[in-house]
Structure 1
């Protein structure tokens, strides 16, 4: 089941188990059941602190993990391999008493949660976003006896996926009711179940002393800005909804110079580690809502808190552009998706559409073609914008159809899920219907700058922040960097350079303003 290299790595990790744990396995005669059984046996044989027992769980095949003297509160319904193998390893270690590296105050907050919390997370093994959610909920289950968590492989338990009409992962249920969808951090989950946490955090943030430079945004631009600012020895803060930004949702990265290939979550982990090597105060799970200036620059947060600084770097990035057609919002997460790598497996054997003929759209079509029955690409223009090598690959696949001059006009559904879409042929003017189970939107980015529209900051008609060669905006002391700005090319490596430039610009501003 495990190759020699993986077993060697796992053996090293298992040395950190402090107290005995037990794996409870519920299997059947299916191929996946046999694989799960073999995996559990291999793991149990690697440590004398791991016991193995049979169980009869409602979901089979599955394995549950917990301390040997307790009822297990962590269950993997399905085979926890692929991206979820790390979730399995952490569950073994944390159930065995190995401490988490998460913020101690946050861990204590989890321990003090009162009530009964039974979480279920539907995932796909190819989903880059799912492990963060699974690992956060598993950790909560190890810390608090009132919390339990089941990871459910949607591809293996398709009857549940169809019954609950799950069309996007990760999808989290709490005590049988929908709780959340998409990537969520431990801090975000805890804040959602601990209803008083937001106001307590806002009070804490309001007491913060002014920063020399405050970076708003935690993507590549924000991380680079934080590092360059902190290296100057000035008081540096970084506030963001989540660290990593959109890069966390990026799978393959092949144009990051000196690194032939990496993946978004891996790059973000390295960025976060690098930032933490410096004296940077990182504040996450907070969304900026306003910008104002007096003797200082003040950033208002949706939580009600306000942070102040002598200079600010805005690096809030961009997000996937939406179609803005009837039915899109109604069926978002119910067939309308934006991450083919995450949600593609949920449409196995079905017909889907991809909106957009750029690199992202054609890459999505190629990836989906290996999973689904058929992919239809709808491109608004009369030619594809994707690189020629991607076009050739797509056209060589027998289950990809490309339609040009197609303007999507409506998402059609049956009240609970997508059943198709409507589009207009821009040449003939005819309206056409396309029957699909899923619609993957890949039509570019929109800057995260709406919260700045009531400020005095200059924005373009596209909503981008106008900057000069130093990253400076029209407001003294306010700088910006990355995809939220007028920089012409939206690339990770360019955003990092822009973040560094903005930090140096801000430092220069602080020096000059203090000398006046």
Structure 2
């Protein structure tokens, strides 16, 4: 099942194992079970520390338990963990076998001290690039604390269970039988959600931090580039971000990043973070900014207030908060998000196998989504507000050639309907005739562009009519000491490589600003003399 190249790589990787690991297989007579048995045996042949056992009845089949020698940890993979989840399996083996986790010691201690019993279940699809982060986080928690268990469940292998538990988006996490969270999240956020005193402790620790020379708000490509360029100047640099990587984490294929012919969003983000950590940058992950206060209002330093109540101060600030998927803002959208309304066709598409879905938007992202979905679902209806599709001609021709794609132009979506638990249809108005039409379907994928994450900046810096941060050619805003870069700004083209260039520009602009602007304390001494 594993080709020779992968086997060679894994043999070297498994050299990091320190203790025995058991792969316990729960199988039946299905083809998927045979695949799982083959996978477990192939892995066991690569290390004398890995063994395979046959599991007894009582567990989902096919499923695989990964357990370290003498450990009470409980990690299960229900399904065959290939695709994006293959890395999750390998890390589960390594961590169960004593290999060091790349987790801050403070967070490990926080997990170890959690009291109570926590039974996590995560529904995933193997094409979901967001799911592995959640699966890997929960697996690590299960290794650290024996009172925590985790089961990854492939919704494509166990569709009846996914349907019965009303799973219509991945990843969906259940805790002790109740829905806990949905969508991509981090280890720290999961822990903080069940550790009720964590936010207050973190706020207190953040408040103790010394002022920065450059504080970057946002950890996407622009933020990473800003931090690297600032740190290379030898100045005190920090990044505060809700999730490192930003929207790039949700990007599947990247083929226009110069010098890299093809990569995926999560892989690029991993390289970005690794590069940033090569420098002396204080990364404050899982934190969201809520307010910006200009230096002139707070004694010469710019203040950034966080949602948890902490306040960070800096001589200069670079805003790189990025953008998020734009919503259509019609009745039913919010009510059925995660219940049929989705924004990531790669993640959630497999959950709609054989069903009828709609894609809202006829740009590149919308038509690409329709083409991808057409290979999975029963039928795709594309609704475009304008009188023509805005996608590239090659994509339009491909979509028009597919028999299970219907394209409707000049269609204004007015409502998403459902039965209270899941989507059942959609209503749109023909903008030419004014007539209203209903479509019966099970899923709606919204693909109508982006909106900048700048709401917290209203009244603090100048924003355009579209909510974008207004900047000059040095990345400076209208507020002294405050710079900005990336998709949250007025830069006309929203591309990863452009955001990186803008981040470096903003960092150099901030450095130049500091060289020409004395520190508040120094200025006061000069005036007194």
TM normalised by structure 2 equals 0.96
C-alpha deviation, 1:496, in angstroms: 0.6
- Cα offset, 1:104, TM superposition: 1.4
* Alpha-carbon distance in 2 for matches of 1:319, 1:130: 18
Counterparts of 1:112 and 1:70, CA distance in 2:
17
Q: Is the 8 A contact 2:73 2:146 kept in 1?
A: no
Structure-to-structure mapping, 1:12-411, within 5 angstroms: 12-55=12-55, 56-293=57-294, 294=298, 295-411=300-416
CA distance in structure 1 between the partners assigned to 2:323 and 2:453 by the alignment: 5
Mean CA deviation greater in 47-56 or 64-73:
64-73
1:431 maps to what in 2?
436
Following superposition, the deviation at residue 268 of structure 1 comes to 0.5
- Please report how far the alpha carbon of residue 306 of structure 1 lies from its aligned counterpart in structure 2 after TM superposition: 0.3
Superposed displacement of residue 191, structure 1: 1.0
Summarize deviations over 1:50-80 as a string: whole Å, max 9, x none. Answer: 2221112331110101023344500000000
Query: Does the alignment pair 1:468 with 2:472?
Result: yes
Q: Deviations over 1:237-272 (max 9, x none)?
A: 110001000000000011111111111001101110
Counterpart among 434, 455, 479 of residue 450 in structure 1: 455
- Matches of 1:71 and 1:506 in 2, distance apart? 52
CA contact (8 A) 2:73 2:142 kept: no
Question: How far does the alpha carbon of each residue in 1:113-158 deviate from its partner, in whole angstroms, 9 at most, with x for none?
Answer: 1110110000000000000000010011011110100000001111
CA–CA distance in structure 2, aligned partners of residues 133 and 111 of structure 1: 18
State the secondary structure of the residue aligned to 2:98: coil
Residue of structure 2 in register with 1:477 after alignment: 481
Confirm or deny that 1:10 pairs with 2:10: yes
CA distance in 2, matches of 1:115, 1:173: 16
Deviations 1:338-362 (A, max 9, x none): 0000000000011110000000001
C-alpha displacement at 1:43, in angstroms? 1.6
The partner residue of 1:459 within 457, 463, 467 is 463
Cα distance in structure 1, aligned partners of 2:50 and 2:184: 31
Contact 2:73 2:148 in 1 (8 A): no
CA contact (8 A) 1:464 1:486 kept: yes
Asked if 2 retains the 8 angstrom alpha-carbon contact of 1:133 and 1:185, the reply is yes
Distance in 2, matches of 1:335 and 1:74, equals 29
Whole-angstrom CA distance in 1 between matches of 2:517 and 2:267 = 39
| Preserved CA contact (<8 Å) 1:64 1:72 | no
Residues of 2 paired with 1:71 and 1:311: CA distance? 49
Instruction: Provide TM-score, normalisation by structure 1.
Output: 0.99
SS at match of 1:313: strand
1:399 offset after TM fit, Å?
A: 1.0
Look up the SS of the partner of 2:518 in the other structure.
helix
Distance in 1 between the 2:21 and 2:258 partners? Answer: 44
Q: Deviations over 1:353-402 (max 9, x none)?
A: 00000000011011111111111110000000001111111112111111
Contact 2:73 2:145 in 1 (8 A): no
Q: How far apart are the structure 2 equivalents of 1:348 and 1:450?
A: 37
Instruction: Provide Cα deviations, 1:307-338, integer angstroms capped at 9, x if missing partner.
Output: 00011010000000000000000000000000
SS of the aligned residue for 1:514 comes to: coil
Q: Cα offset for 1:511?
A: 0.5
SS in 2 for 1:109: helix
Partner of residue 526, structure 2 = none
Measure, in 1, the Cα distance between the counterparts of 2:72 and 2:222: 45
Deviation at 1:45, TM superposition (A): 2.4
Moved >3 Å (runs of 4+): none
- Count of residue pairs the alignment pairs up: 515
Task: Provide the C-alpha distance between the structure 2 equivalents of 1:243 and 1:343, rounded to a whole number of angstroms.
Answer: 22
Structure 2: unaligned runs, 5 residues or longer: 524-529
Q: Contact 1:24/1:54 (CA < 8 Å) preserved in 2?
A: yes
Separation in structure 2 between the aligned mates of residue 291 and residue 363 of structure 1, nearest angstrom: 38
Q: What is the match of residue 527 of structure 2?
A: none
RMSD of equivalent CA atoms = 1.0
Q: 1:492 to 1:53 in 2, by over 3 A?
A: same
